[in-house]
A and B are shown apart, each in its own frame.
Chain A
């Protein structure tokens, strides 16, 4: 049995993402100022601080709702606190991940890959963005694909999450030359090229946060696993 994703791991991941967003608040806002409306950092920070507030209090996971209920709580919190476009998009990501995660408190790497994939599909349906539209999809879709491939080839959780984060980083960097076709940046047309997409950047932070937190909080690998 390989190392699994646990409820504690998910909570650690969310804390790590909240810290990353807080640390990169000005960076995300500066990226957004170049091609959007200069609020991505402050909006995401407000949302993740609200999520941390929920995690530190009693949340549905405590009542046996498992990882699914936990993720849905995160989604609803983001939907009601972030606003803008990022609110419904990140909210939908976590809500759909929650729907896919079910009531269990432990998921295999392959199950976790399916959970992420369901979330990313939800984001795509909500925002109607395709790859190379210069959006968070450009980081999330390659990450979900990489996680699936890694899970299928039997990589450990830590290695699989590392592959996903690397794919997200590549996707994020690949948004720089793109001309935006969705969101406020699309109003700039050609002038949006040459700037890294702020949404893809926060999505990379989310994948990067998983590498350390989600895997480290997992139960230790058993001998012979």
Chain B
């Protein structure tokens, strides 16, 4: 294992120290329990938005804390859900009297920990609503499994709900917008290489030099199938077709196209992927009216990408365009 760390067991704490040192002007980093809040929290009269999840997906979620996006993020251990005490303290720290929205990715641990946190917060008189994001079409949806995973749509939901909260929309509205984003977004990812969890020290899975995994999760969970490596246009066709056919996205739809890097893939390749996606969607009569290209929801050092499409209407477009000022996303300010 080659990583820019000191000791694996210190990596999370030292990451948080680095974040605190770098962004003291806009973030407050709490340790024991760990959570990160925007420096002006709590914002009175505004719905607060809290998210969180295992570490290793940076910049998600701490990189999205700030004006126009999240009020707080709870980082867990690498690829491990944070705990209810973190979520409770974060929720209390950002509650400005208008209630708190928890944005939760659909993983068994995350869902249960956020459920316990919401129970504890309501015991303390804080109104909490939770929305679970489950946009990964690689997982066959079924009532008899843990269901689809939350992936790329999480970033889009955090941005869009953050904008709605800044407009002082009430909690049921902000939660409704979050559900609308989730209902209109689909994603699928792929990996060229495995990732290596610092505490484990070896790759999570083995991929041959000429193999790729289609439908990979953001923790290196296996996907739909392992295939021989193919040119970018074939990979994009596999991912985009699965995404488009699932919702389904139709001729005439306007979409936000999000090409996300898994952590170990250069921007050069992401733009190749975007170019292929643009051609493919144009051929299907789907127009990309907004886009996001970069590594925003990662799986440590995994090489690969994911494609997320979000069907836009005027409301979602306006909220996407609204100002945001976080370390990970910033425009209009």
Contact = CB atoms under 8 A, between A and B. Distances in A.
Interface of A: 29, 33, 37-39, 42-43, 79-89, 91-92, 126-127, 180-184, 186-189, 191
B79 A79 contact: no
Contacts of B260: none
A184 B116 contact: no
B84 interface: yes
B219 A191 contact: no
Interface in B86-103: 86
Nearest to A78: B83
A95 B82 CA distance: 19
B221 A85 contact: no
B84 A42 contact: no
B89 to A, nearest CB: 10
B81 A87 contact: yes
Nearest to B147: A186
Given A126-B115, A183-B146, 12 more contacts: A29-B200, A37-B221, A38-B200, A43-B77, A80-B33, A83-B77, A88-B113, A88-B116, A184-B146, A186-B145, A187-B222, A188-B222
B33 A184 contact: no
B77 A182 contact: no
Contacts of A180: 145
Contacts of A83: 54, 76-77, 80-83, 109, 113
A87 B197 CA distance: 20
Nearest to A186: B145
Contacts of B112: 85, 87-89, 126-127
Nearest to B200: A38
Contacts of B220: 37
Contacts of A37: 79, 204, 219-221
B217 interface: yes
Interface of B: 33, 54, 76-77, 79-86, 107-109, 112-113, 115-116, 139-140, 144-146, 149, 197, 199-200, 204, 217, 219-222
7 contacts: A42-B199, A79-B85, A83-B54, A83-B77, A126-B116, A181-B144, A188-B222
A89 B115 CA distance: 12
A184 B83 contact: no
Contact of B80 (A43, A79, A89): A43
B80 A88 contact: no
A205 to B, nearest CB: 20
A182 B145 contact: yes
Contact of A85 (B85, B109, B139, B200): B109
Given A181-B145, A182-B146, A187-B217, A38 B222 contact: no
Contacts of A33: 204
Given A38-B197, A79-B85, A83-B113, A183 B79 contact: no
Q: Top 5 nearest A-B pairs by Cβ distance?
A: A186-B145, A85-B109, A88-B112, A84-B109, A83-B80
A76 B145 CA distance: 28
B109 A87 contact: yes
Contacts of A181: 144-145
B81 A84 contact: yes
A50 B209 CA distance: 42
Contacts of B219: 37, 184
A187 B33 CA distance: 30
Most buried by A among B33, B82, B144, B149: B144
B79 A39 contact: yes
Contact of A39 (B80, B84, B146, B149): B80
A184 B145 contact: no
A79 B222 contact: no
B79 A82 contact: no
Contact of A187 (B80, B109, B139, B144): B139
A128 B123 CA distance: 22
A29 B149 CA distance: 22
Given A38-B204, A187-B221, A191-B222, A79 B83 contact: yes
A80 B80 contact: no
A89 B83 CA distance: 12
Nearest to B215: A187
Nearest to B222: A188
A82 B200 CA distance: 17
A187 to B, nearest CB: 5
Contacts of A92: 116
B83 A80 contact: yes
Most buried by A among B77, B107, B112, B144: B112
B116 A79 contact: yes
Contacts of A29: 200
